[in-house]
């Protein structure tokens, strides 16, 4: 089970560090060791540990070449965008980032179409967070950090505005979220369609 973060993990930046600290613990063979995760978290936050380079070797080890990262098949492979490109919103820098290889993993067409336009957390769902491939998770965290850095939201406490800070806040692109919300609001406000008059 992913470890529950302490109370002071209360911003996007801190939650990304917390998730990343758990990955570092996995890589070091200390999975689920709370003390180890806390110590790595503190090093990431203080800058004592460079977070993007700290598990590069682990990532290399996880790269298994041309197989589906999600189900392991070698048939019918394609490229999966970890964060869907349709989430990019209107910021061209975020579009470019989501279009880049940093956002890509090898996945079969079946997994790819099952995931559709969801991010990995939404796709796996709350019950199966442990099953998310570590390579996808690692890439996702780095990507999420850069997205939030670009849009200036690293220190927000609840970007998706659902009342809690959790992993579902990490993949949020603000301009996409706002567009989606106003679309919903417009749908609600729209008057009923005019009645058709019978022409008889």
- Burial of 137 from C-beta contacts in 10 A (0-12 / 13-18 / 19+): buried
Minimum separation from the CB atom of position 75 to Zn ion (A): 9
Measured in whole angstroms, the distance separating CA 149 from the mean position of its chain's CA atoms is 14
Binding span for Zn ion by CB under 5 A among 9-17, 67-75, 91-99, 113-121: 67-75
Minimum separation from the CB atom of position 140 to Zn ion (A): 17
Q: Does the protein bind Zn ion through residue 71 (CB under 5 A)?
A: yes
Nearer to Zn ion by C-beta: 97 or 108? 108
- What is the distance between the alpha carbons of residues 37 and 108, in angstroms, rounded to a whole number? 33
CB atoms closer than 10 angstroms to residue 182: 10
Tell which one of 9, 16, 55, 68 touches Zn ion (CB under 5 A).
Answer: 68
Binding span for Zn ion by CB under 5 A among 13-21, 60-68, 165-173, 178-186: 60-68
Q: Does the protein bind Zn ion through residue 70 (CB under 5 A)?
A: yes
Identify whether the C-beta of residue 167 lies closer than 8 Å to the C-beta of residue 121: yes
User: What is the maximal distance between C-alpha atoms in the chain?
Assistant: 81
Burial letters 60-94, b for 16+ CB under 10 A, else e: eebeeeeebbbeeeeeebeebbbbbeebbbebeeb
Minimum separation from the CB atom of position 113 to Zn ion (A): 10
Q: Does the protein bind Zn ion through residue 120 (CB under 5 A)?
A: no
Measured in whole angstroms, the distance separating CA 36 from the mean position of its chain's CA atoms is 24
Tell which one of 105, 111, 172, 173 touches Zn ion (CB under 5 A).
Answer: 111
Q: Does the protein bind Zn ion through residue 108 (CB under 5 A)?
A: yes
Binding span for Zn ion by CB under 5 A among 2-10, 77-85, 102-110, 148-156: 102-110
Q: Does the protein bind Zn ion through residue 18 (CB under 5 A)?
A: no
State the number of binding residues for Zn ion (CB under 5 A). Answer: 5
- What is the distance between the alpha carbons of residues 177 and 180, in angstroms, rounded to a whole number? 5
Site residues (vs Zn ion, CB under 5 A): 68, 70-71, 108, 111
């Amino acid at each position: 089970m992913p470890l529950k973060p302490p109370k002071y993990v209360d911003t996007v930046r801190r939650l990304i560090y917390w998730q990343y600290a758990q990955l570092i613990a996995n890589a070091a063979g200390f999975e689920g060791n709370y003390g180890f995760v806390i110590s790595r978290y503190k090093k990431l936050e203080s800058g004592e540990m460079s977070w993007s380079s700290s598990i590069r070797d682990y990532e290399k080890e996880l790269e298994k070449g041309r197989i589906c990262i999600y189900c392991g098949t070698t048939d019918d492979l394609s490229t999966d965008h970890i964060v869907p490109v349709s989430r990019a919103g209107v910021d061209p820098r975020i579009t470019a980032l989501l279009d880049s290889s940093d956002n890509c993993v090898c996945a079969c067409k079946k997994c790819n179409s099952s995931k559709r336009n969801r991010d990995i957390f939404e796709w796996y769902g709350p019950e199966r967070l442990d099953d998310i491939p570590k390579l996808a998770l690692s890439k996702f965290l780095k990507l999420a950090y850069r997205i939030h850095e670009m849009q200036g939201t690293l220190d927000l406490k609840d970007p998706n505005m659902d009342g809690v800070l959790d992993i579902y806040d990490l993949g949020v692109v603000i301009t996409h979220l706002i567009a989606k919300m106003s679309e919903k609001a417009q749908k609600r406000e729209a008057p009923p369609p005019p009645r058709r008059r019978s022409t008889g």
